[in-house]
């Protein structure tokens, strides 16, 4: 019996318990019509259902990975597993194939070495599934029995159920903390392992980047792990080229939409900008690689640049800038709208024209908010992956020429982790170290931006 | 002394000149703003139009007209086999491919017949399974050409195939025909045979997992933070981590999925379950943030009224606040889901980039998703995949448009101004 079937059984039992406990509570009410029962019948139902389902589901959640490991252990200790290859892809594929056949997902094994393993697999799977099923039923039964024994006319089922509900709410809010901790833990552990092989100095200040996931993992050459070209490429594409496009256009369109545009144009232009933010990045990446990059290359050839790269930083940066326009625009729009109307009115009353008011009064007043918006936009741009994976290069280059091929942190993370490298290789671990740097930098930018916005908002309230 | 100077002593010629300059600057500034806005809109329109123009041919494929005479071939449909694939296999064993080949030679000549797609017999077999009556006489089929001829027909590719393509096209035997199968097949190495159903189904399964995880957790967390959470350090930490998660680059979630989920479930690499879990972590903060705003906008008088007639705090929230906040929460959820649907980077890291030739049957099968299919096809060298990629982009954009449209509709239809 698979996990999903088991869950269905538990839910069915829970429903039965709900119905039974509820009808029992109704019977209490009927039996003694003068006294009121302490909680509504529905709460009695929920009380029973929770006691049936929660222990059983908790057991299933723990059991399913545990039973997988137990099955694997049983099969590997079987004599038929003795002549498996000791490690590597072939072993994995034989095992997963035999397993799939045993589960009935596959007609027959392709690799003859797996045939002998089908029988032990189906035996082990059958045994552990039976154990899982029985224990689940026992857990549900014990929980249900406990709940039913406590049902009485004066039992305060609602208070118990509500306490559980509140506990579940608390748990849900903790998922965010767990996720954050999970991110930090997974990045930090791998990064520490990486820094055990390559010193942080070499990594953060070295200028040569060409890790080879296929090289011997025991003889690490730290000089190949200098990430400065990546940091430079990331900044150049995300924080310089993209921002040269996004800041003026985003700012000007925010000012226009906020101050000049007639209402009917605003209702059309604002959603259009939002659509620009909703286009998936893989579409931007395709657009950059297919349309923008060749156009820039042709333009460069026409101007007379010899041998421009077809994966120039400029193409990726320009398209990324377009993607960022809506972020800058909406942040600038919000901060300009937050400036009190009296300030603008005062300036206009003194005879300043609208653009003088905007330049001398509104923008200086809104500047903290705008700066925060730009910081958020930069953090967005440097973490953007698909555009650069598809349009920028994989080769690390330390250059200030926008027509050169450059690579970014995110491109290298993808390149290092989608190869065939093993988890213990420094090249794979380097990807986590890069991810850690990216995480810290974006977190820092966001943190500062949020503080600025908060203080700015307080200033005008 | 002129009259104007007496009436308006301040309006000296220098003042007039300055005023004119200031007004010109004003006009320039407004035009600049309009220009910037229109530039953004123009890029959007250019993007959409170029994708559409590129992609529309991707819904078609080059097909050859071949009449096949079944009456003398002695094929039969063994209905007792039941499954469609089994019947197709039996037709294959009965010599259907050879029949298709000889008919093609008759209709197109030896040169043309060589460029019938090697999987063309499958089209015939499917038609026969759907209607066994076809076997009694001669029927005309449009069969996919092979990739070389299809590219040549499009005006690219090998020069020596172009005359053949032109000749067949002039006879009306070679045409670009609408390819319904594009929406029903899965990935293939041959662009003529590639389809997006597999990726679309993978996307749907992944989105189901994401929704089932992110929606309840997000809504419950939003309710807790907005209605019950005490103001203390602990709550501050939760809030800060939610705000930060909303701003963390998506690729970091991929690293998390790789390091945590794939270590716990090594068998489920490339499965919608893991992809959905990873995307759920990414979508959950969005739902929490929009959900909190929706809950905040429910006026306190509703809560006071419910409390006054004796509802418990849990009843107040679940019977009154939540139903009123639900449209706003749903709007935020749909927007978050649309973002998850278009997301590629985290899935790239957790391995949903395999070549998947058959649509996934469940949450634990190997699968790929629509944006990932776009990414994989964009890497292909074959000319035919350029159009197929843009066609897949059109399908993805249509889905996103529908979801965003639904969100806007919900917002306008149900949002209350208190």
Q: What is the pLDDT of residue A109?
A: 67
| Confidence (pLDDT) at B364 | 82
Taking alpha carbons only, the member of B123, B90, B86, B88 closest to residue B104 is B123
Tokens coding A166: 């509140």
Could you tell me how far CA B255 lies from the centroid of its own chain? Answer: 23
> What gap in Å lies between CA A215 and CA A201, rounded to an integer?
22
Name the pLDDT band for A188 (thresholds 50, 70, 90).
very high
Question: How far is A101 from chain B, CA to nearest CA, in Å?
Answer: 14
Number of domains in chain A: 2
Domain match, A138 and A247 both: no
Q: Please report where in the chains the tokens 């001398």 appear, as a residue.
A: A360
pLDDT class for B6, splitting at 50, 70, 90?
low
Last residue of a domain, one of A120, A155, A190: A155
What does the pLDDT look like over A11-60, one tens digit per residue?
A: 999 999 999 998 888 888 888 777 777 888 888 889 999 999 999 999 99
CB A18 within 8 A of CB A49: yes
Structural domain contains residue A39 = yes
- Do residues A145 and A231 share a domain? no
pLDDT, greater one: A79 or B322: B322
Residue A306, pLDDT above cutoff 90: no
What pLDDT score was predicted for residue B162? 77
Give the residue on A whose Cα is nearest the Cα of B396: A280
Range in A428-432, B279-283, B379-383 the model is least confident about: B379-383
| Cα–Cα distance, B336 to B211 (Å, whole number) | 10
| The pLDDT value given to residue A106 | 66
Report pLDDT for B278: 94
CA B344 to centroid of chain Cα atoms = 11
Tokens of B366: 């190997």
User: Residue B99's closest CA among B132, B125, B136?
Assistant: B125
Cβ pair B29:A68 closer than 8 A: no
B37 → closest Cβ in A253, A380, A413: A253
A169 inside domain: no
SS3 A456: helix
Whether A226 and A150 share a structural domain: no
Within a domain: residue A144? yes
A266 and A389 housed in the same domain: yes
| Largest Cα–Cα separation, chain B | 115
B354 contact A CB<8A? no
Residue A461 pLDDT class (50, 70, 90 cuts): low
- Angle, CA B205 vertex, CA B208 and CA B413 arms, to 5°: 40
Q: What is the pTM of this model?
A: 0.88
Distance from C-alpha of A393 to C-alpha of A405, rounded to nearest angstrom? 5
Q: DSSP characters for B314-372?
A: HHIIIIIIHHHHHHHHHHHHHHHHHHHHT--HHHHHTTTTS---S---STTS----HHH
**B64 backbone dihedrals φ, ψ, rounded to 5°:** -110, 140
In a domain, A171, yes or no: no
CB contact residues (below 8 A), chain B span 372-411, against chain A? 372, 374-375, 378, 386, 389-390, 393, 396-397, 400, 404, 408
ipTM metric: 0.89
Q: What is the separation of C-alpha B94 from the centre of its chain, rounded to a whole number of angstroms?
A: 40
pLDDT confidence of B211, banded at 50, 70, 90?
very high
Q: Is the model's pLDDT at A457 over the cut of 80?
A: no
A252 vs B245: CB contact, 8 Å cut-off?
no
Structural domain contains residue A202 = no
Query: For chain A, what is the total number of helices (H) and then of strands (E)?
Result: 18, 0
- pLDDT score of B114: 77
Q: What's the pLDDT score for residue A218?
A: 73
| A233, A109: one domain | no
Q: Give the Cα separation of A100 and A85 in Å (integer).
A: 19
pLDDT top residue among B272 and A394: B272
Contact call for A260 and B34, based on CB within 8 A: yes
pLDDT of residue B336: 92
Mean local confidence (pLDDT), A126-142: 90
Q: Do B249 and A442 touch (CB under 8 A)?
A: yes
Whether B344 has its CB under 8 Å from any CB of chain A: the answer is yes
Check A447 against B229: CB less than 8 A apart: no
Q: Check residue B190 and give its pLDDT.
A: 83
Q: Measured between alpha carbons, how far is A257 from A253 in angstroms, rounded to an integer?
A: 6
Question: How far apart (Å, rounded) are the C-alpha atoms in residues B232 and B230?
Answer: 6
- A61: closest CA among A166, A148, A135? A135
Task: Give the pLDDT confidence of A403-424 residue by residue, as tens digits.
Answer: 888 899 999 999 888 876 677 7
* Residue A58 to residue A78: CA distance in whole angstroms: 31
Neighbours of A244 (CB within 10 A): 14
Q: Could you list the residue range(s) of the whole structural domain that residue A359 is in?
A: 222-459
**What pLDDT, on a 0 to 100 scale, did the predictor assign at position A252?**
95
Whether the per-residue pLDDT at B309 is higher than 60: the answer is yes
Give me the pLDDT at residue A326, please.
Answer: 92
Ramachandran quadrant class, B74 (left: phi over 0; alpha: psi -120 to 50; beta: rest): left
CATH number of residue A447's parent domain: 1.10.3720.10
Q: Which residues in chain A touch residue B34, judged by CB atoms under 8 angstroms apart?
A: 256, 260-261
Secondary structure tally for chain B: helices H, strands E: 18, 3
- Residue A65: what pLDDT? 79
Chain A residues in contact with B285 (beta carbon < 8 A): 176
Please give, one letter per residue, the 3-state secondary structure of A96-110.
HHHHHHHHCCCCCCC
Q: B51 vs chain A: nearest CA distance in angstroms? A: 8
Quickly state the pLDDT bin for B58 (edges 50, 70, 90).
confident
How far, in Å, CA of A48 to CA of A155, rounded? 12
Last residue of a domain, which of A128, A155, A182?
A155
Of A102, A121, A155, the position where a domain reaches its end is: A155
Per-state percent for chain B, helix, strand, coil, to nearest 5: 70, 5, 25
pLDDT at B353: 81
Instruction: Determine how many CB atoms are found less than 10 A away from the CB of residue B213.
Output: 18
Let me know whether A139 and A275 are in one domain: no
Q: Sign of the C-alpha dihedral, residues A22, A23, A27, A33?
A: positive
pLDDT of A198 reads 87
Q: Is residue A346 part of a domain?
A: yes
Q: Which of residues 205-224 of B touch A (CB under 8 A)?
A: 216-218, 220-221, 223-224
Q: In what order do the strands lie in the sheet with B60-69?
A: B138-144, B60-69, B174-178
| Shared-domain flag, residues A433 and A340 | yes
For B323, the token pair is: 């139903």
* CA separation, residue B310 to residues A264, B10, B300, B304 (Å): 48, 73, 16, 10
Nearest to A6 by CA among A75, A47, A64: A64
Q: Which helix (H) or strand (E) holds B388?
A: helix B384-414
Contact across the interface for B252 and A439, Cβ inside 8 Å: yes
Chain B residue with the nearest C-alpha to that of A270: B37
**Which residue in A173, A246, A293, A434 has the most chain B C-beta atoms within 10 A of its own C-beta, making it the best mutation to test that interface?**
A173
If one counts every other C-beta atom within 10 angstroms of the C-beta of residue A88, the result is: 9
Question: Regarding predicted confidence, which is higher, B110 or A402?
Answer: A402
Residue A349 lies in a domain: yes
Is pLDDT above 80 for A110? no
**Per-residue pLDDT for A87 more than 70?**
no
Q: Are residues A28 and A107 in the same domain?
A: yes
Instruction: For residue B21, give the chain A residue with the closest CA.
Output: A353
Question: Which is more confident, A241 or B105?
Answer: A241
Same domain, A408 and A263: yes
Distance CA A418, CA B348 (A): 7
**B124-176 pLDDT, tens digit each:** 888 887 777 777 778 888 888 887 788 778 777 777 777 777 777 777 778 78
Q: How far apart are CA A133 and CA A121, in angstroms?
A: 18
Residue A398 to residue A211: CA distance in whole angstroms: 16
Distances from the Cα of A400 to the Cα of A238, A240, A314, A405, B328, angstroms? 14, 11, 11, 10, 47
Interchain proximity A283–B51, CB inside 8 Å: yes
% of chain A residues with pLDDT over 70: 96
Average pLDDT, chain A: 87
For residue A127, what are its two tokens?
């045994």
Same domain, yes or no: A135 and A18: yes
| Residues 6+ positions from A440 with CB-CB distance below 8 Å | none
pLDDT at A250: 94
pLDDT at A89: 67
Q: Does B59 have pLDDT greater than 70?
A: yes
In 3D space, the residue among B272, B276, B265 whose CA is nearest the CA of residue B366 turns out to be B272
Q: Do the Cβ atoms of A25 and A150 come closer than 8 Å?
A: no
Interchain pair A252, B36: CB under 8 A: yes
Query: Do A143 and A249 belong to one domain?
Result: no
Residue-level length of chain B: 418
Answer for the pair B66, B107: CB distance below 8 angstroms, yes or no.
yes
Per-residue pLDDT, averaged over A431-440, amounts to: 94
Q: For residues A431 and A183, what is the distance between their CA atoms, to the nearest angstrom?
A: 14
Task: Check: CB of residue A48 under 8 Å from CB of residue A17.
Answer: yes
Q: What is the pLDDT of residue A107?
A: 65
Two tokens, residue A5? 């079937």
Q: Which two tokens stand for residue B284?
A: 């959950």
Q: What is the mean pLDDT of residues A429-444?
A: 93
Asked whether residue A108 is assigned to any structural domain, the reply reads yes
Question: Closest Cα partner for A211 from B350, A385, A220?
Answer: A220
Nearest chain A residue to B277, by CA: A179
């Amino acid at each position: 019996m698979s996990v999903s079937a088991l869950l269905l059984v538990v839910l069915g039992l829970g429903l039965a318990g709900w119905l039974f406990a509820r009808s029992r509570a109704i019977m209490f009410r009927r039996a003694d019509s003068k006294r009121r029962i302490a909680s509504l019948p529905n709460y009695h139902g929920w009380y029973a259902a929770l006691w049936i389902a929660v222990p059983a589901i908790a057991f299933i959640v723990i059991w399913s990975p545990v039973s997988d490991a137990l099955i694997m252990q049983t099969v590997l200790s079987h004599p038929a597993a003795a002549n498996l290859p000791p490690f590597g892809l072939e072993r994995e594929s034989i095992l997963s194939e035999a397993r799939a056949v045993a589960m009935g997902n596959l007609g027959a094994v392709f690799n003859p070495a797996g045939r002998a393993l089908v029988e032990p697999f189906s035996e082990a799977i059958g045994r552990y599934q039976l154990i899982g099923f029985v224990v689940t039923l026992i857990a549900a039964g014990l929980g249900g029995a406990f709940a039913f024994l406590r049902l009485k006319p004066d039992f305060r089922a609602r208070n118990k159920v509500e306490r559980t509900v509140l506990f579940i709410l608390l748990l849900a809010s903790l998922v965010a903390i767990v996720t954050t901790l999970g991110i930090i833990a997974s990045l930090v552990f791998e990064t520490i392992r990486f820094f055990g092989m390559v010193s942080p100095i070499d990594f953060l200040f070295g200028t040569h980047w060409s890790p080879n996931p296929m090289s011997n993992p025991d003889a690490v050459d730290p000089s190949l792990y200098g990430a400065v070209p990546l940091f430079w490429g990331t900044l150049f594409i995300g924080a310089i080229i993209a921002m040269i496009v996004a800041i003026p256009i985003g700012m000007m369109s925010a000012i226009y939409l906020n101050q000049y545009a007639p209402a009917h144009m605003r209702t059309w232009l604002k959603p259009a900008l939002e659509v620009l933010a909703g286009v998936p990045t893989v579409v931007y990446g395709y657009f950059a690689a297919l349309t923008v990059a060749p156009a820039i290359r042709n333009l460069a050839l026409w101007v007379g640049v010899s041998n421009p790269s077809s994966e120039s930083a400029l193409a990726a940066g320009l398209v990324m800038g377009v993607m960022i326009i809506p972020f800058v625009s909406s942040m600038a729009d919000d901060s300009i709208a937050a400036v009190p109307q009296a300030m603008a009115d005062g300036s206009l009353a003194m005879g300043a024209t609208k653009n003088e008011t905007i330049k001398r009064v509104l923008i200086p007043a809104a500047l903290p908010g705008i700066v925060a918006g730009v910081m958020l936009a930069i953090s967005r741009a440097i973490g953007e992956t698909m555009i650069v994976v598809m349009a920028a290069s994989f080769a690390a280059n330390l250059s200030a020429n926008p027509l050169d091929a450059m690579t970014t942190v995110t491109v290298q993370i993808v390149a290092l982790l989608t190869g065939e490298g093993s988890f213990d290789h420094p090249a794979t671990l380097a990807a986590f170290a890069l991810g850690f740097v990216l995480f810290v930098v974006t977190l820092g930018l966001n943190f500062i931006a949020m503080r600025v916005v908060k203080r700015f908002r307080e200033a005008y309230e | 002394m002129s009259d104007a100077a007496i009436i308006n002593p301040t309006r000296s010629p220098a003042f007039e000149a300055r005023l004119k300059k200031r007004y010109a600057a004003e006009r320039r500034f407004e035009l600049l703003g309009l220009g910037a806005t229109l530039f953004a809109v123009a890029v959007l329109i250019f993007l959409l139009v170029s994708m559409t123009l590129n992609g529309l041919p991707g819904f078609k494929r080059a097909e050859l007209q071949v009449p096949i005479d079944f009456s003398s071939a002695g094929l039969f449909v063994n209905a007792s086999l039941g499954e469609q694939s089994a019947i197709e296999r039996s037709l294959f064993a009965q010599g259907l491919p050879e029949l298709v080949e000889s008919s093609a030679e008759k209709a197109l000549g030896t040169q043309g017949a060589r460029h019938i797609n090697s999987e063309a017999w499958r089209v015939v077999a499917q038609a026969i399974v759907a209607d066994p009556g076809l076997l009694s006489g001669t029927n005309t089929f449009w069969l996919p050409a092979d990739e070389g001829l299809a590219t040549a027909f499009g005006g690219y590719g090998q020069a020596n195939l172009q005359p053949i393509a032109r000749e067949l096209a002039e006879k009306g035997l070679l045409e670009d025909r609408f390819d319904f199968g594009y929406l029903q097949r899965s990935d293939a190495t041959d662009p003529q045979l590639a389809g997006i159903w597999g990726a679309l189904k993978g996307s749907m399964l992944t989105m189901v997992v994401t929704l089932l995880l992110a929606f309840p957790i997000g809504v419950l967390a939003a309710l807790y933070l907005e209605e019950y959470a005490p103001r203390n350090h602990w709550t501050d930490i939760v809030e800060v981590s939610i705000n930060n998660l909303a701003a963390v680059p998506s690729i970091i979630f991929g690293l998390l999925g790789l390091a945590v989920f794939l270590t716990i479930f090594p068998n489920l690499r490339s499965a919608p379950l893991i992809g959905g879990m990873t995307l759920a972590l990414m979508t959950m903060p969005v739902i929490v943030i929009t959900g909190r705003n929706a809950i905040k906008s429910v006026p306190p008088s509703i809560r006071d009224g419910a409390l006054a007639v004796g509802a418990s705090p849990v009843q107040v929230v679940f019977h009154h606040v939540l139903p009123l906040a639900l449209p706003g929460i749903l709007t935020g959820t749909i927007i978050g889901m649309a973002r998850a649907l278009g997301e590629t980077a985290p899935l790239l890291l957790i391995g949903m980039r395999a070549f998947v030739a058959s649509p996934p049957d469940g949450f634990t099968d190997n699968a790929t998703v629509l944006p990932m299919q776009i990414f994989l096809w964009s890497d292909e060298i074959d000319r035919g995949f350029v159009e197929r990629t843009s066609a897949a982009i059109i399908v993805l954009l249509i889905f996103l448009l529908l979801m965003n449209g639904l969100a806007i509709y919900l917002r306008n239809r149900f949002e209350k101004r208190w």
